[in-house]
Amino acid sequence: MRTHPLTRTLVAATAVAGLAVAATTSGAAPDAQTAAAKKITRHGVDGVKLHATYRHLRRVHKVRKIHQGCEFAGPKARAAELRKPLRGTVNFTRSKPRRVRDIPITGGAKARGVAVGDVTSDIKAKYPKATEDHSTDDTFGATIVRVPKGGGGRLEFAVSTDTHKITAIGVPRIAICD
């Protein structure tokens, strides 16, 4: 039996469309942009824990290559960028072996559902014991909101004085270098 070329094209197009619908509804693995945000805790973020060594973090592909850190921290200061989907840096100790000192996060993770871009009221809702420090408002253009250890962890949030939105989350603090 001989079929018309247009019939074969329609059958093929229908089959491809059916496969595409099945692939999107079958729970296929999400890509990096649609993946769920990573969790920030008082211990670290997504496998980047405080006091972990640079060598370990590099081996498990959590950070990029180490480079000179903030010049205000001294000549031996070192830092490394976080790998995607996280955005931010990891600051290391000045002595060897280099260990994680603090982690300023600028995107890709949430602390109890609070992420970069949220506002101070979101922080207060999730961390009732958080306090605001306005001493950095004029100098850095950001209010530091501190969460104490007894209030859910040692975390800091930098909130812009212009937009009133969170610009960075620090574990356990935000190292200001600019």
Specify the 3-state DSSP secondary structure of 4.
coil
Question: Closest Cα to residue 86, out of 111, 69, 54, 68?
Answer: 111
Mind listing the pLDDT tens digit for each residue in 12-24? 443 434 434 344 4
**pLDDT for residue 78:** 95
Beta-carbon contacts of residue 140 (< 8 Å; ≥ 6 apart): 158, 176, 178
Domain that holds residue 153: 38-171
Identify whether 75 is preceded by a cis peptide bond (ω within 30 of 0).
no
Number of H helices and E strands in the chain, helices first, is 4, 13
Residue 90 lies in a domain: yes
pTM score, two decimals?
0.77
Q: CA-to-CA distance for 178 and 1, rounded, in angstroms?
A: 76
Residue 147 lies in a domain: yes
Chain centre to alpha carbon of residue 124: 20
Residue 51 lies in a domain: yes
Query: How many domains does the structure of the chain reveal?
Result: 1
Mind listing the pLDDT tens digit for each residue in 133-160? 999 999 999 999 999 999 888 999 999 9
Residue 116 lies in a domain: yes
Q: Does 72 or 85 have the greater pLDDT score?
A: 85
Mind listing the pLDDT tens digit for each residue in 48-62? 999 999 999 999 999
Residue 27 lies in a domain: no
Residue 3 lies in a domain: no
**pLDDT for residue 28:** 44
Residue 163 lies in a domain: yes
Residue 31 lies in a domain: no
Specify the 3-state DSSP secondary structure of 7.
helix
